[in-house]
Chain A
Amino acid sequence: MRPVLSIVTLLRSPIKTFLSLLLLVAVSFAFVGRGAEYAATSGEINRAESSNYRTVGYIRATTKQLFSALDGYFGDGFSNQNSSYSDGVPRESVPITPEAVELAAGSRYIDTVDLRRVSGGTNESLRAVTEQPVRHFLLGDISAARAWGTPGLTTSFAEVTCVEKDENRMKLYIDKVIVGDPAQFAEGNSIVVQNDHGKYVDEYFGGAEPGGRYFAAIARTDTGYIFNTYVPDVFAAISEGGEYALSPETEYSVRTLQTNLHSFDVVYTSSMDTMDKVRTGLMYAAEGTLIDGGSSGDVCVISADMAEVNGLAVGDTVELTLTPGTYESAGRVYGRASAYPTGTGMGVPGRNEMAEPDVAPVTKTFEIVGIWSDSDYDLENPLTYSLNTVFVPYEAYPWQDGVEPEYCPSTFGFSLKSPEDIDAFRAEVESEINELGYELVIRDGGYEQAKSSFDSMKQSALIGFIAMSAALLLALLLTTYLFVIRKKYDYAIMRALGTPVPRANASLLVGLFALALAAVLLGTALAVAATSGFAADLSAQIGEVTGGEVAATLPGWTFGAFGAGTLALLLAFAWAGLVRIGRIPPLRLLQGK
């Protein structure tokens, strides 16, 4: 039968054709819809998993290390019952052996290994970005961070002239800002100060005389200017010769603060990829690249804010005077991969120490190869880096000759390829690491919990899809069975008249194909319409689990693929049925009608 004719014959039995069409439209609608939903669900979940959940980890000592000073302190028969004496070096600071580092780093589940150091770097001509000093030690305003205890207060030091004074307030003329942000004194050069309770001015600064010149430590709050009463010599008279007498402690503070305004956290890292925020994409290269396994030489990556404040760009160079020795200021920041904060993060020996005095600073010039940005900048978050952090390759660390690198949890971190590998990774290395006296700390960013939600979402989508696939198979089998049965008589005649099997098959398949194509197109169009709200629902569901914005889509190709699959399956079934009857001799076919 000519192709046209076999399609025409469909129209000559309209009711049967319509019923087959209806059945095929119904199942292809359900199957294509469920299929696209399932594909979208699993695709979006995989994407959500891989973008939100990366595994980072580190090694730390199993137990605290007691201060060695306590060794032998107690006599025989006594045990240390006093908790203050039992205090020791927190686990985050206990050194780890290279053996343990190699053990973890050598696993095949490891994606990136990061060796790192943190120290300070200074440059008199660069200005640090002003930010909440709560955890930015190097810029951390000494008075606010150390004595005042109120985060966010930046104390400035200035030479002032007393204009007026009564019991509770004093009007000062700012002659010169010694240290601090001149922008804080924007309202002319006159400010009115009071202490925070408003009534002790006279008590603290009774000696001030209108017309006298003084050195003053002043902080600005939301409500006005106050004396930073916790800084010694907060208000010192300046003698005729322009000299002011500060105690050594205040002088040291002022000097430190002066330095801090030109100081930066320098993070020496073999790869920024183990940093949690980098892995999740919150922290990224706004320009150029980040420090990764391929970075070498004297290159650096600075923050977008630091670049803006100092007018720097990729390709420029930054000269830094580096102070070796590890600062703990950023301990909480790289803590995700190393020393996760316990309580305040205080109590780590050396936290507030500057570089070892006998180690000479080294000056190096770094080329800026990238500008980093943190879309989730929040210094309250322990994973946030100060805007004054300069990332440089690990090799740039100014090692002292003959000094071997010592590892501690804050200098070694790793990331796994996928959070799904956590169990396998633990199985591979954990017991050996435990035997060495260390434990493995792994942060999955909530993957474990998300996984169970995701798994159940995927599962219900899969169940719907499988149910529809089963319905599809049954319907296709039924359709082809009925079709073949219905056409068996035609087939018998064709074969009896000498039509070769392929030609007989083809003339039946053309009709079936036309029918199925119409049905699948219609069913797919209905499925597209019916699933229009699904993407939004899916986005909401995934967003609820990850806590982020998700823009799920049902890609058009999935509809096409499932529609084409339906068509192909139907034709395959029909072909298989025809091949079977094609083997039967025409005599039997004719009799079998």
Chain B
Amino acid sequence: MAALTLENVTYTYRNSPRPAVADVSCEFEAGTLYAVIGPSGSGKSTLLSMLAGLDLPTSGDVLLGTEPIRSLDLDRYRRESVSMIFQAFQLFPLLTVTENVCYPMELVGKKPGEAVPRAKELLSEVGITEEEMRRFPANLSGGQQQRVAIARALASGAKIMLADEPTGNLDVENTVLVMEILKRLASEQGYCVIVVTHDSEVADAADVVFRMTDGRLTRVR
């Protein structure tokens, strides 16, 4: 059984004449690393947003297992079933790096005594130093912020990981580090990982590759 299934999903932004995601049907399995490539504006981020439950499709359905998420508590779905690394990071500007990473854990009821050490562990895994952990996001480089966003996505413990250009701001060394982590999540921990990327090397690391063109999704490999 697929972890996530798209059934004829179409999404049209308000005030937009054309759908950003057009009639996409596709299945995503657990334990697999997926890559979605495609030109800018082709609808990759919109597709991930549908999978992340940030809005419901204009038509069609996203299924978690066999349940359409339309019939689930969407807040809970976002909180517990999926985690997302946003293209624009979306970190709380007035929370420190550690506090940002703790947030999803607090949301699922973890006590600070448990959340803070875990956050620090995750942050050091993605190469953030103790000193950087105390800073506010604005005082970090783009690449550092991106890694904080990755750590926060890992923190929630959800088994479906959606990553929008997670390596877009990273140097080669860190790109390798992050891809290692994502690969391991899929192969060793049974995560369903879907990565949107421009980077062909990142796509090469994926088990399955899709291409997005004008809102349509086709399997490349």
Contacts and interface: CB of A to CB of B under 8 A. Distances in A.
Please say whether chains A and B are actual partners in one complex. yes
Interface string B68-112: 000000011111100010101011111100010001101100000
Interface in A479-494: 489-490, 492-493
A499 interface: yes
A411 B179 CA distance: 108
B159 to A, nearest CB: 14
8 contacts: A9-B95, A12-B136, A489-B93, A492-B90, A493-B90, A493-B91, A499-B79, A501-B75
A-B residue pairs, 6 tightest by C-beta = A498-B79, A498-B78, A587-B54, A585-B55, A587-B55, A9-B94
A22 interface: no
Contact of A496 (B54, B76, B80): B54
A588 B20 CA distance: 14
A496 B90 contact: yes
B56 interface: yes
B169 interface: no
- Residue in B52, B76, B84, B95 with the greatest tally of chain A CB atoms within 10 Å: B95
Contacts of A2: 106
A498 B54 contact: no
A498 B80 contact: yes
Nearest to B74: A498
B103 A497 contact: yes
B42 interface: no
Interface residues of A, number: 22
B99 A5 contact: yes
A498 B75 contact: yes
A500 B75 contact: yes
Interface in A387-433: none
Interface of A: 1-2, 5, 9, 12-13, 489-490, 492-493, 495-501, 585-588, 590
B8 interface: no
Interface string B105-130: 01100000000000000000000000
B78 A496 contact: yes
Given A12-B94, A498-B80, A499-B75, A590 B103 contact: no
Nearest to B79: A498
B32 interface: no
A490 B84 CA distance: 16
B79 A497 contact: yes
Contacts of B104: 497-498
A585 B92 contact: no
Interface in B137-189: 156
A477 B190 CA distance: 50
Given A2-B106, A498-B80, A493 B92 contact: yes
Contacts of B86: 496, 590
Nearest to A501: B75
Contacts of B49: 587
Contact of A490 (B79, B94, B107): B94
Contacts of B106: 1-2
Given A9-B95, A490-B94, A585-B56, A1 B84 contact: no
A592 B190 CA distance: 35
B92 A490 contact: yes
Nearest to A13: B94
- Residue in B86, B92, B94 with the greatest tally of chain A CB atoms within 10 Å: B94
A482 to B, nearest CB: 16
A20 to B, nearest CB: 15
A586 B94 contact: no
B6 to A, nearest CB: 16
A586 B52 CA distance: 10
B141 to A, nearest CB: 20
Given A490-B92, A498-B80, 9 more contacts: A5-B99, A12-B136, A13-B94, A496-B54, A498-B76, A498-B104, A499-B75, A585-B56, A588-B55
Contacts of A501: 75
- Residue in A13, A489, A493, A497 with the greatest tally of chain B CB atoms within 10 Å: A497
Given A490-B92, A493-B92, A590-B90, A499 B107 contact: yes
B99 A586 contact: no
Contact of A586 (B54, B80, B95): B54
A277 to B, nearest CB: 70
Contacts of A9: 94-95
Interface in B7-53: 14, 49, 52
B54 to A, nearest CB: 4
Contacts of B52: 496
- Residue in B75, B76, B79 with the greatest tally of chain A CB atoms within 10 Å: B75
A587 B54 CA distance: 5
A498 B107 contact: yes
Contacts of B79: 497-499
A587 B45 CA distance: 10
Interface string B60-72: 0000000000000
Contacts of B14: 588
A1 B94 CA distance: 11
Contacts of A500: 75
Contacts of A13: 94
Contacts of B93: 489-490
B107 A497 contact: yes
Given A492-B90, A587-B55, A5 B80 contact: no
